[in-house]
């Protein structure tokens, strides 16, 4: 089973004006692939999913399930399954009736559908809840029931619209695992929508980052993290977010240029030529930045504004002339907020983006090439 | 001292504190909220009920102020009268017919209004008009619309070809009851619509969407989601409309005055006649008391058989 989205566009009529929710997007989801649509709210990810489900009619474009055009097929005949943010269990049916409902509308007789619902409930570890009503279940139990309901009829794809966003952190991790287990077991494409990039990174085979109705970048979690196509993807993927510092291209021009930053320069090869003097943004992940107590030891000098604890790590925010730098590597425990420090990083770790279009010009140099003398000039 | 100054000085604050303090006292709050309603209820409902109950055991003439003790004589007379039983039967027919018509069309209209379509507001407003217009006005409008010589309904039906000649809708023994039922439903259907629509709008859209994606057709969704969710509210609507229609007086009285040849003389019309045509107030009180007992009995049976506590599931 595969799912294909071809130049999908959705325009909503809001009063007399038109609102472009999804602007001609394309992607293809392979058999058994876990594919995530991620982006800030209002980016069109849910609309895209609802178009695939058939709950919204695309303004133009096509949806193909297993090579077959289903754009005009009614949602109840597409053979898909969907999980919703508010879980959407039927409040007047007990758990077994909820799980068996898709079988009921398919005309499966009562004993068989009860049997199959029981099996799936077993799989979801909720066999003792069969006769309870949704109102009597905990959040996690409801989620499990909802998952059971989506897989009981062997759908051709699983669609999930932020199913975890109302759960507490611990439950999130638990249900996340369940979803992945079910995805593996069902062996069908899963299309998952979330605004949480860490959720996307941890679950997906491939991710499409969306913004403003466009797909800004598409790829595996590693690809998006290591070589983002543009500043939007770079900034959206990864937490804490990437540092972007403005700089100007120096000597050379064309493919091979130097970048000046903090009095230091490096020579880099660009994927696309740019003339000398082009404004660029230097991107560097906080994971790759060190904070040094000596103001002159690093590349840039600034004031240590803030130290926050994020899990087991400490995040430092350093104010520099051109903004701020977030860093996760604090060289000593004695760094004090308010003191003058310097930040250091390896030139090999930086991304370069076009200052105007945000397009990526260069990505960090892979570790294998690190030892070659390409570093500073 | 102006209000602003009082506020600034904190003086007003003190008064307000006292006011809130007093209002927060349980008995003050109870008295302020419950007593007025209770007083009105007692004066308008309880007092006449008790008065009628008492009167049913006396012989009360309209022109003599003194009551004569009659024991259960009034009840014996009423229960032995076949006219009384015939009127009860008509009340049941009128109530059942009206409830069925109002609940089905009212629910259908609610389901229609729950959808998105143009002119929805206009339709809702039009449907609400008969309910707002006083019964007397509506009844006279209906009378003229169904008039055997000039009525627009006759005119339309003849033009469409459904009937060949004008019909006296409220004046024909075979049709009078049906006409009264339809007219009362015209007025009261929107009551059902308003309540059902409120319930429909509280059903989350995602439940329908979940059902749709998992393969449920439009009919499946109606049968398995809409109807079960409406059960509780329909239970209450049927009960209320049933009781109200069983006791309905005004609309029938104006439309047919119980006629022709008593075909629309329901129990409440019968009670009215006994009181104000036959001037037998004691017997009329007995009829009313019997109706009351009958309705309470019916309500108990209704609650017993339908177990609303199970149907009205509140999430």
Mean pLDDT across B265-287: 86
Same domain, A312 and A343: yes
**Do A242 and A210 fall within a single domain?**
no
What does the alpha-carbon distance between residue A278 and residue A258 come to, in Å, rounded to a whole number? Answer: 11
- Cβ-based interface (< 8 Å): residues of A facing B: 53-55, 75-82, 84-86, 88-93, 101-102, 104-106, 133-135, 149-150, 153, 159
The answer to whether position B201 is within a domain reads yes
Largest CA distance in chain B: 84
Q: DSSP alpha helices (H): ranges in chain A?
A: 45-53, 95-104, 110-123, 139-151, 169-186, 197-203, 221-226, 231-236
Q: Are residues B19 and B144 in the same domain?
A: no
* Whether residue A196 sits in one domain with residue A146: yes
The verdict on B15 and B141 lying in the same domain is no
Q: Of B298, B271, B269, B273, which Cα lies nearest the Cα of B285?
A: B271
* Exposed/middle/buried for residue B60 (C-beta within 10 Å: 0-12, 13-18, 19+): buried
> Would you state the pLDDT for residue A83?
92
In a domain, A315, yes or no: yes
Residue A61 lies in a domain: yes
CATH of the domain at A97: 3.40.50.300
* Domain endpoint, select from A231, A251, A276: A231
**pLDDT, position A376:** 40
Residue A100 sits in the same domain as residue A165: yes
C-alpha angle A340-A341-A342 in degrees, rounded to nearest 5: 140
A168 and A95 part of one domain: yes
**What pLDDT, on the 0 to 100 scale, is given for residue B43?**
92
For the ranges A33-37, A252-256, B123-127, B143-147, the lowest mean pLDDT is seen at A252-256
Owning domain of residue A134: 3-231
ipTM comes to 0.83
Taking only the tens place, the pLDDT of each residue in B181-228 is 999 998 888 899 999 999 998 899 999 999 999 999 999 999 999 999
Q: Determine contact: B82 vs chain A, CB below 8 A.
A: no
What average pLDDT score do residues A185-193 get? 92
Decide if A55 and B228 are in contact by the 8 Å CB cutoff: no
B159 and B40 assigned to the same domain: no
* DSSP, residue by residue, B164-208: SS---TTT-TTTHHHHHHHHHHHHHHHHHHHHHHHHHHTS-HHHH
**pLDDT tens sequence across A10-38:** 999 888 888 899 999 999 999 889 999 99
Please state, in angstroms and as integers, the Cα–Cα distance from residue A196 to each residue in A161, A192, A232, following that order. 12, 11, 15
The CATH number of the domain where B272 resides is what? 1.10.3720.10
Is residue B17 located within the same domain as residue B95? no
Q: Which long-range contacts (CB under 8 A, 24 or more apart) does A215-222 make?
A: A215/A25, A215/A26, A215/A27, A216/A39, A218/A27
The last residue of one of the domains, among A231, A248, A264, is A231
CA–CA gap between residue A250 and residue A280 (Å, rounded): 11
Distance CA B224, CA B58 (A): 55
Q: What is the DSSP string of A233-287?
A: HHHHSSSSPPEEEEEEE-SS-EEEEEEEETTEEEEEEEEEEE-TT-EEEEEE-GG
Of A75, A134, A135, the CB nearest to B212: A75
Q: Do both A249 and A359 map to the same domain?
A: yes
Cβ separation A86–B206 shorter than 8 A: yes
In total, the C-beta contacts within 8 angstroms joining chain A to chain B are: 76
Measured in degrees and rounded to the nearest 5, phi and psi for residue A64 equal: -120, 125
Chain B: residue nearest A49 by CA?
B213
Q: What mean pLDDT, rounded, does chain A reach?
A: 87
Query: Quick one: pLDDT band at residue B175, thresholds 50, 70, 90?
Result: confident
As a whole number of Å, the CA-based R_g of chain A is 25
Tell whether B204 is within 8 A of chain A (Cβ). yes
Give the confidence band of B104 by pLDDT, cuts at 50, 70, 90. Answer: very high
User: Is residue A182 included in any domain, yes or no?
Assistant: yes
* pLDDT for position B211: 93
Q: What total of structural domains would you count in chain A?
A: 2
Residue B315 is predicted with a pLDDT of 41
Domains in chain B, number: 2
The domain containing residue B15 runs over which residues? 1-52
pLDDT of residue A117: 92
Per CB-CB distance under 8 Å, the chain B contacts of A78 are: 213
**Same domain flag for A78 and A205:** yes
Euclidean distance between CA atoms A140 and A126, whole angstroms:
10
pLDDT given at position B6: 55
One domain for residues A153 and A205: yes
Q: Which of A216, A231, A246 is the last residue of a domain?
A: A231
B225 — contact with chain A (CB < 8 Å)?
yes
Q: Is residue A28 part of a domain?
A: yes
**Residue A134: closest CA among chain B residues belongs to which residue?**
B315
Q: Which residues of B touch A91 (CB under 8 A)?
A: 207, 229, 313, 315
Mean pLDDT of A85-103: 92
Same domain, A216 and A251: no
CATH code of the domain containing A337: 2.40.50.140
| Residue B263 placed within a domain | yes
The pLDDT assigned to A206 comes to 95
Percent of chain B whose pLDDT exceeds 70: 93
Residues A240, A227, single domain; the answer is no
Q: Is the pLDDT of residue B2 over 70?
A: no
- Pair A93, A188 in one domain: yes
pLDDT in tens, A247-292: 888 776 556 677 777 667 777 788 877 877 788 888 999 999 999 8
Rounded CA separation A129/A142 (Å): 10
Residue A377: the pLDDT is 35
Tell me, yes or no, whether A182 and A202 share the same domain: yes
Between A355 and B3, the more confident residue is A355
Based on the fold, state whether residues B122 and B216 are members of the same structural domain. yes
Report the distance separating Cα A282 and Cα A287, nearest Å. 15
């Amino acid at each position: 089973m595969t799912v294909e989205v071809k130049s999908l566009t959705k325009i909503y009529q809001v009063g007399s004006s038109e609102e472009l929710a999804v602007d001609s997007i394309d992607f293809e989801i392979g058999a058994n692939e876990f594919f995530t649509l991620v982006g800030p709210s209002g980016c069109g990810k849910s609309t895209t999913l609802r178009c695939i489900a058939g709950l919204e009619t695309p303004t133009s474009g096509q949806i193909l399930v297993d090579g077959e055009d289903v754009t005009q097929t009614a949602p109840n005949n597409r053979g898909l399954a969907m999980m919703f943010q508010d879980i959407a269990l039927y409040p007047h049916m007990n758990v077994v009736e909820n799980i068996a409902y898709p079988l009921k509308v398919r005309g499966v007789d009562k004993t068989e559908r009860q049997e199959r619902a029981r099996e799936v409930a077993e799989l979801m570890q909720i066999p003792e809840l069969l006769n309870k009503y949704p109102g009597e279940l905990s959040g996690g139990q409801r989620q499990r029931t909802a998952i059971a309901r989506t897989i009981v009829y062997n759908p051709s794809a699983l669609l999930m619209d932020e199913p975890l966003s109302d759960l507490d952190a611990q439950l999130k991790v638990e249900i996340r695992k369940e979803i992945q287990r079910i995805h593996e077991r069902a062996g069908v494409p899963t299309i998952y929508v979330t605004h949480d990039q860490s959720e996307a990174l941890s679950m997906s085979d491939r991710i499409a980052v969306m913004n403003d109705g466009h797909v800004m970048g598409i790829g595996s979690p590693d690809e998006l993290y290591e070589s983002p196509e543009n500043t939007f993807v770079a900034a959206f993927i990864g937490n804490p977010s990437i540092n972007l510092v403005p700089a100007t291209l120096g000597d050379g021009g064309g493919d091979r240029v130097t970048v000046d930053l903090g009095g230091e320069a490096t020579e880099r090869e660009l994927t696309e030529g740019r003339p000398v003097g082009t404004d660029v943004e230097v991107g560097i992940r906080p994971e790759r930045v060190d904070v040094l107590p000596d103001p002159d030891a690093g590349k840039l000098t600034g004031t240590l504004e803030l130290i926050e604890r994020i899990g087991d790590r400490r995040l430092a925010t350093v104010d520099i002339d051109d903004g701020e730098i977030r860093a996760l590597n604090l060289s000593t425990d004695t760094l004090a907020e308010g003191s003058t420090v310097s930040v250091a990083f390896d030139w090999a770790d930086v991304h370069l983006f076009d200052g105007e279009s945000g397009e990526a010009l260069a990505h960090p140099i892979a570790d294998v090439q690190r030892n070659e003398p390409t570093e500073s000039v | 001292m102006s209000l602003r100054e009082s506020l600034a000085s904190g003086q007003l604050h003190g008064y307000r504190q006292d006011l809130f303090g007093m209002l927060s006292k349980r008995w003050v709050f109870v008295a302020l909220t419950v007593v007025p309603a209770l007083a009105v209820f007692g004066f308008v409902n309880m007092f006449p009920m008790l008065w009628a109950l008492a009167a049913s055991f006396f012989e009360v003439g309209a022109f003599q102020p003194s009551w004569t003790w009659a024991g259960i004589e009034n009840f014996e007379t009423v229960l032995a009268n076949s006219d009384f039983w015939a009127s009860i039967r008509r009340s049941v027919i009128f109530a059942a017919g009206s409830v069925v018509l109002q609940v089905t069309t009212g629910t259908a209209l609610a389901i229609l209004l729950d959808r998105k379509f143009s002119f929805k507001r206009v339709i809702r407003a039009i449907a609400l008009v008969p309910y707002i217009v006083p019964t007397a006005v509506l009844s006279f409008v209906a009378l003229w619309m169904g008039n055997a010589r000039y009525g627009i309904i006759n005119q339309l039906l003849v033009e469409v070809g459904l009937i060949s000649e004008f019909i006296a809708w409220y004046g024909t023994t075979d049709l009078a009851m049906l006409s009264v039922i339809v007219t009362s439903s015209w007025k009261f259907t929107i009551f059902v619509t308003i309540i059902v629509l409120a319930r429909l709008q509280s059903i989350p859209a995602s439940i329908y969407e979940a059902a749709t994606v998992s393969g449920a057709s439009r009919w499946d969704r109606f049968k398995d989601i809409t109807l079960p969710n409406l059960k509780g509210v329909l239970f209450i609507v049927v009960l209320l409309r049933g009781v109200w229609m069983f006791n309905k007086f005004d609309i029938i009285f104006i439309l047919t005055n119980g006629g022709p040849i008593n075909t629309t003389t329901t129990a409440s019309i019968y009670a009215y006649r006994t009181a104000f045509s036959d001037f037998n107030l004691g017997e009329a009180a007995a009829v009313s008391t019997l109706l009351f007992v009958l309705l309470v009995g019916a309500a108990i049976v209704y609650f017993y058989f339908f177990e609303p506590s199970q149907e009205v599931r509140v999430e």
